[in-house]
Chains A and B, each alone.
Chain A
Amino acid sequence: MSKRKKKRLILRISILTVLIAAVAYTLYSTLTDEEKTLVKAGDNAPDFVLTDLDGKQHRLSDYEGQGVFLNFWGTWCKPCEKEMPYMESQYHEFKDQGVQTIAVNVGESDFQVRNFAEKYNLSFPVVRDAQRDVYDAYSIGTLPTTLLISPEGEVVDVVKGEMTEETIASYMEQIKP
């Protein structure tokens, strides 16, 4: 092959490579558009501070070294209501093994959340995200959604929808330190 042709081949390969890369990137981002903004498994869980019903502040990073079972819920949401007692019993099971449970209520009044917590005798921290700030940051979408956060602060899994007592137990097992 002559020098000129070799040069031409290299030029063609590089131009085609750039074009293919651009197209691949565009296709990839279009097809994953929905998930792009989502906090997902493998991400670092964004830090947040929320206040519970007793006025105590809970900062996610304060629980480093413990697994965090982070549940987003609403009082009006039936599946959330159903899984609450399971979470309560598993919370007692796992809290001494280093798994913390935090239930984040999305956008409801103190009255409704308190009423609900009293009805189900919830003893884990129930915090209110009144302005949907954390809900937005985690781009939650539908309720209930539960994030499993490792002791290192990494999201292990995002669970959408209702959980049974067994699955809750197995999830908590996953994030034990």
Chain B
Amino acid sequence: MNEITCKCGHVNPEGTELCLSCGRALTADAETKKTSDVMRYEGMARRSQTYKMSVIDKVWNFFSSVKVGVWLIFITLAASAIGTIFPQVIFIPPLEPPEVYYEDRYGFAGKIYYVLGFHDLYNSWWYLLLIAAIGTSIIIASLDRVVPLYKALKNQRVNRHVSFMKRQRVFTEYTVQQPAEKVIASIGDNLKKRRYRIREEDGHLLAEKGRFARWGPYVNHTGLIIFLIGGMLRFVPGMYVDEVLWIREGDTMPIPGTKQEYFLKNDGFTAEQYTAEEDSEVFGETINRVGAIAKNFQTDATLLKREEGTAIGDESKLTEVESHPIQVNQPFKFDNFALYQVDYRQDEIRSMSFDMVNKETEEALGSFEVDLFQPEDEYKLDDEHRVELMNFYPDFSGFEDGEPQTASPVPNNPAFLFKLYSPEKPDGEVAFIAIQESLEPLGENEFALKFSGIETRDVSGLTVRKDLTLWILGLGGAIFMIGVIQGAYWNHRRLWLKRTEDGKLLAAGHTNKNWFGLRKDLEYAFNGTGLAQPKDHMEENLNKKASGDVKEEKNNDTTS
């Protein structure tokens, strides 16, 4: 069976609950169902419920089900909640490998957590699949409902069958003395003033207002889908960049994520604090209580651009674009990129100064400075004294087979192997110098080097960010909200008036929410007609139950 023929003669597609023409209930099921449930989609057949199914139809039907959608959302919610039990991978100590960290720290549960991908939830494949399934469900379920609903509302007839009207929550049968046309006309005029659209056919009337509210959920879902598309676009190369740039004062470095097109020069980093003297009025008390309060973190930076057609590595062809300070929450913006001040390291050693002295007489013979980032082969103190730098170990970590070792290229613990030349020792004396460690590996020396000074500089930690998807997310969010407002603040209200052949007048009303509002409209409409306004049966029942305690209608009979 593919079609249902109604008693009125109209042929409806299979799955239809209320005849599209007259509104009679077509199935025993629809007869017994709550009116609000049937009216939600105007008794239309959901597009997918029907005919013989191919695989495509089965997949389609699966996603068309609201029950499935709710389950998907619930599962995603549960997974997201579980993802907060242990820290996400970006929050664990940076040098710890996650495969070890979770098991070590949290035992077996931690291992499961890691293996199942809860540690990096937003990037685990099954979580993405869940989100994708929700997106698919939203699209298919909406399509399956909005199309029939639109058709039903567009083609609705004025004259409905008595059984349809009797089923409505607001319904009254009147016996009218005066001519029914006059009453209908008067009600129609009144409702026009309330901005209802009035249609009349063969003396029957349909007044309707706010049909637009019925599209709210679908507008809302469109916004959601646009939002999801925006999120997806982040994976398209060039749309989204989130990188870290550590840059020392004075250095020029390529800005990651710009394909080596842009460089940044760090002209200096400043960290300021409020002082108890200068800012005593505002901060004095707090400073006394908690100590230092940060005032400003700032990197003064210069942006450089590599000339087009220049090969990577060629640093001679950089042109200055702009100088700009970068403060917390005050990024340096250029070409869709933004540089944010997020971190700093203070006082990294940049250079060290030494004095050459005669050990016995303590006579100073001159001093020199070693730039740790550009050490020289030899430092001349005067015509007779010079120091040769034999080797340099920026991050001295001890000896191995008598050879000094360095753990990294960062000058955390600089050490030097020097050779000191003097007229007394023309062949030179070897000295090994590290912080708080001084060795004379080849025998007692006559001359020594003493630390005389240190120069430091700061390192700025910046975030490089580019996000071309923001406007799409904004647009999706805006449409989402428009849908919510549309569905929440407008109601679809209808009134049917029908004249029967035995001279009776039937009035039935329906709204998708806010029955109180509908009743107020009807009160206004029936004013002056000599008829009482149609009764809201649900309201009546409630009042009976609450024994005189007047209550607003229950929320669960809103249909949207």
Contact = CB atoms under 8 A, between A and B. Distances in A.
B125 A27 contact: yes
B56 A112 contact: no
Nearest to A31: B125
Interface string B110-135: 00000000000001010011001001
Nearest to B394: A76
Contact of A46 (B135, B312, B395): B312
B128 A30 contact: yes
B123 A111 contact: no
Contacts of B56: 9, 12-13, 16
Interface stretch (B197-205, B373-381, B536-544): B373-381
A166 interface: no
Given A16-B56, A19-B136, A48 B311 contact: yes
Interface string A95-116: 0000000000001111110010
B374 A23 contact: no
A163 interface: no
Contacts of B139: 15, 19
Interface residues of B, number: 48
B313 A33 contact: no
Given A23-B132, A110-B374, A131 B235 contact: no
Contacts of A76: 394-395, 406-409
A107 B254 CA distance: 12
Contacts of A48: 311-314
A106 B394 CA distance: 15
Contacts of B60: 12, 16
Contacts of B369: none
Residue from B47, B57, B313, B394 with most neighbouring chain A CB atoms (10 Å): B313
B311 A59 contact: yes
Given A23-B132, A111-B374, A133 B394 contact: no
Contacts of B394: 76
Contacts of A33: 123, 235
A53 interface: no
A137 B315 CA distance: 14
Given A29-B235, A111-B375, A137-B312, A74 B409 contact: yes
B282 interface: no
A23 B312 contact: no
A31 B50 CA distance: 39
A56 interface: no
Interface string A1-37: 0000100110011011001001101110111010010
Contacts of B129: 23, 27
Residue from A22, A61, A110, A133 with most neighbouring chain B CB atoms (10 Å): A133
Given A15-B140, A30-B125, A76-B395, A133 B374 contact: no
A154 interface: no
A47 B256 CA distance: 18
Given A13-B56, A137-B259, 15 more contacts: A15-B139, A19-B136, A25-B232, A31-B125, A59-B311, A76-B406, A107-B409, A109-B375, A111-B392, A131-B251, A131-B253, A133-B254, A133-B260, A133-B313, A137-B260
12 contacts: A12-B56, A15-B139, A15-B140, A26-B132, A30-B123, A30-B235, A47-B311, A49-B314, A75-B409, A109-B392, A115-B391, A129-B313
